[in-house]
């Protein structure tokens, strides 16, 4: 997931790739990272979104590349997590 972060693949998919049950993967995430698989994946996608935006990618391209169904869904997630829209975030990076 870190090599190709997207919304694709649920916990069962990734557990199967790791040759374990989804319950084992869930327990491993809790034990090692103190967060759920979904929380970790959300953080991974948010970090990747910030990297891509800083590289100059448009927010619609980032949304599509990370597997969001719509640009609006991506922007809502970003605003909820960061407190500003993707475009406001980029403007802040440019003025720093």
Residue ranges of domains in the chain = 11-95
pTM of the model: 0.83
pLDDT band at 31 (very low <50, low <70, confident <90, very high): very high
Among the listed residues 10, 11, 44, the one whose alpha carbon sits nearest the alpha carbon of residue 25:
11
CB atoms within 10 A of CB 26: 16
CATH of domain 11-95: 1.10.10.60
Which string of b and e fits 14-25 if b means at least 16 CB within 10 Å?
ebeeeeeebeeb
Is residue 96's pLDDT more than 80?
Answer: no
pLDDT band at 5 (very low <50, low <70, confident <90, very high): confident
Is residue 8's pLDDT more than 80?
Answer: no
Contacts of 96 (CB under 8 A, 6+ apart): none
Give the model's pLDDT for residue 10.
85
Backbone φ, ψ for residue 58 (5° rounding): -70, 155
């Amino acid at each position: 997931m870190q090599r190709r972060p997207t919304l694709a693949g649920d916990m069962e998919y990734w557990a199967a790739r790791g040759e374990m049950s989804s319950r084992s993967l869930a327990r491993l995430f809790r034990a090692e990272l103190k967060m759920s698989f979904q929380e970790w994946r959300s953080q991974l996608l948010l970090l990747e979104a910030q990297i891509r935006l800083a590289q100059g990618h448009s927010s619609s391209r980032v949304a599509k590349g990370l597997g969001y169904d719509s640009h609006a869904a991506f922007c809502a997630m970003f605003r909820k997590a960061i407190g500003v829209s993707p475009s406001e975030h980029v403007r802040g990076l440019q003025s720093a």
